[in-house]
Structure 1
């Protein structure tokens, strides 16, 4: 539905997007309600933090969301009201990101016949100062992200129980006799990784604003081949944590997110941990590994490849921090 014309009272622009999903309404609603899964399910979503959670029977929830809109990472705080009985979730941005002056909407999950579901995603928005150029920019972002989110929701929901087999999380850790700030500094300065890490052949890093990084990286496999990935990172220096999402993933995956977490152990040491969450793409697995390849084989290969690179990075971060401690 096209946006309405702006009146003297600055009426919000309204949009509606919908899709039909071959999955039960309860399963579809659960995916929309579970924000912890959003970075894996929804392409534009980079990271979500729950500031106030809703009870199981529904109610109010407060979130902070980082997402890509018009090729930039935006962050905002939203309030959601979940109604599991009606299968609706209304949302309103409490702290919008410019050029958005106000943004809200609703998810409606409607049960159809034969186990199918219709999902309707509504938005209403206003631009700062009702600027026409900003309104057009917001409209493009809302349209692109709504279509992408609904398509991704359909894909995830229609996997059914198979999604559990495709989705997995793992971690690797190093204990460091050094300062958390030094470990964080090594991980934050990814622009220096080609000089510091043997598996990083090239890395272009841009930081459009403090703490928001875009990375375009070529990594070298043991056989000498190069693999390109692009990622967005959100860096929390005060918490010694970096979260990231790969925007371009290897062919065997449909999603890959991760985080670096540095925790003080209270005895002059810290634990640095690399977490990965991966969703495999069945067709991509067959394309990359052959038609007879199993998901178990793919999980093992992905675990080894990602874990080896993460462990190498952690080992060099450990050396950097421990040398800094000796030299201080």
Structure 2
């Protein structure tokens, strides 16, 4: 059970530093817990609040990353530096560029043995609010409490089932070459509000973009068997060469789905790739695919369904871009 201890550590002219601590007992050894905590590139697939992580710098023991994540229902982004200690099973982090109302943030993941093969995991945060605004302090505390609890629960579940991660997680991609302009392909992919008129497998799509480059959308998609499922996603444009996304509402067979559209110059055209990373939900397999279905069956089913739709999108994007060039 995560617990919170918040206290004011300083009372100076500078904004006060506030401290929170959340803990959880994990029935897994420290090595497994540390493997989850240290692998930040996988956090969007494994942690509910995280949308995307981009490595800016990386060595064996340090990394500088940009994170997009939800906080109190809003999408925020910041840059952090992390120091990794695989021997002590600790990760120290500090935000270099914060997102208001956060003025400064640092913290630590601390993993210690708890006996009988278990581990004690503590996640701490020390933060300051812009102008020491009480409303900002409350907002940060609420976001930190919510996200820390979600992340600790995810670490516990993942570490306790660490042996099955390789079976449940899969990544795959599909590509097409487009004899057209990269900007036209990007526009087709980014202007998702036009997809119901442009893509036969999209029945409905609602999109909002309150912050330029960050889209929130809900989409009804029709699969090859005629069934329709609803997904909700957050998408982030990284220049005009990549769109990354995370589904915040996924079909029954998955617990998580992240993806990316990437555009790379190729000759006179562009190579466009759709990449998916998925986590299978094993307890849903019998109900969706039948009593005798296995996780392997679910992996094949999900890959086939996602590849079918993303390949269709790629082909329509190609036709759109090539028609504009022609």
Whether 1:93 and 2:95 are equivalent positions in the alignment is yes
**Which residue does 1:51 correspond to in 2?**
56
TM (norm. structure 1) is 0.95
Q: Could you tell me which of 103, 108, 111 is aligned with 1:106? A: 108
Matched ranges for 1:163-178 at <5 A: 163-178=165-180
Residue pair 1:253, 1:285 contacting (<8 A) in 2 also: no
Q: Compute the displacement of 1:288 (Å).
A: 1.9
What secondary structure does 2:259 align onto?
Answer: strand
Residue pair 2:224, 2:305 contacting (<8 A) in 1 also: no
**Which residue does 1:7 correspond to in 2?**
11
Deviating 4+ runs (over 3 angstroms)? none
Cα distance in 2 for residues equivalent to 1:254 and 1:72: 21
Cα distance in 2 for residues equivalent to 1:117 and 1:305: 39
Matched ranges for 1:59-78 at <5 A: 60-78=62-80
Cα distance in 2 for residues equivalent to 1:287 and 1:148: 26
Q: Could you tell me which of 57, 80, 83 is aligned with 1:81? A: 83
Q: Compute the displacement of 1:85 (Å).
A: 1.2
What secondary structure does 1:163 align onto?
Answer: helix
Cα distance in 1 for residues equivalent to 2:22 and 2:96: 23
**Which residue does 1:272 correspond to in 2?**
272
Q: Compute the displacement of 1:286 (Å).
A: 2.5
Matched ranges for 1:132-147 at <5 A: 132-147=134-149
**Which residue does 1:125 correspond to in 2?**
127
**Which residue does 1:252 correspond to in 2?**
253
Q: Compute the displacement of 1:160 (Å).
A: 2.0
Matched ranges for 1:303-314 at <5 A: 303-314=303-314
Q: Compute the displacement of 1:41 (Å).
A: 1.2
Cα distance in 2 for residues equivalent to 1:8 and 1:26: 40
**Which residue does 1:198 correspond to in 2?**
200
1:181-225 deviations in Å (ceiling 9; x for gaps): 111110000000011000111100011211100011111123433
Cα distance in 2 for residues equivalent to 1:167 and 1:289: 18
The RMSD of aligned alpha carbons is 1.2
Cα distance in 2 for residues equivalent to 1:306 and 1:144: 31
Cα distance in 1 for residues equivalent to 2:189 and 2:244: 11
Whether 1:29 and 2:34 are equivalent positions in the alignment is yes
**Which residue does 1:215 correspond to in 2?**
217
Residue pair 2:6, 2:21 contacting (<8 A) in 1 also: no
Q: Compute the displacement of 1:140 (Å).
A: 0.8
Q: Compute the displacement of 1:21 (Å).
A: 1.0
What secondary structure does 1:112 align onto?
Answer: strand
1:106-144 deviations in Å (ceiling 9; x for gaps): 000111211111110000111111111111111110000
Q: Compute the displacement of 1:301 (Å).
A: 0.7
What secondary structure does 2:170 align onto?
Answer: strand
What secondary structure does 1:161 align onto?
Answer: helix
Residue pair 1:184, 1:237 contacting (<8 A) in 2 also: no
Unmatched runs of 5 consecutive residues or more in structure 2: none
Q: Compute the displacement of 1:47 (Å).
A: 0.7
**Which residue does 1:19 correspond to in 2?**
24
Cα distance in 2 for residues equivalent to 1:312 and 1:216: 19
CA 1:291–1:116: 2 relative to 1, 3 Å: farther
Cα distance in 2 for residues equivalent to 1:237 and 1:121: 33
TM (norm. structure 2) is 0.96
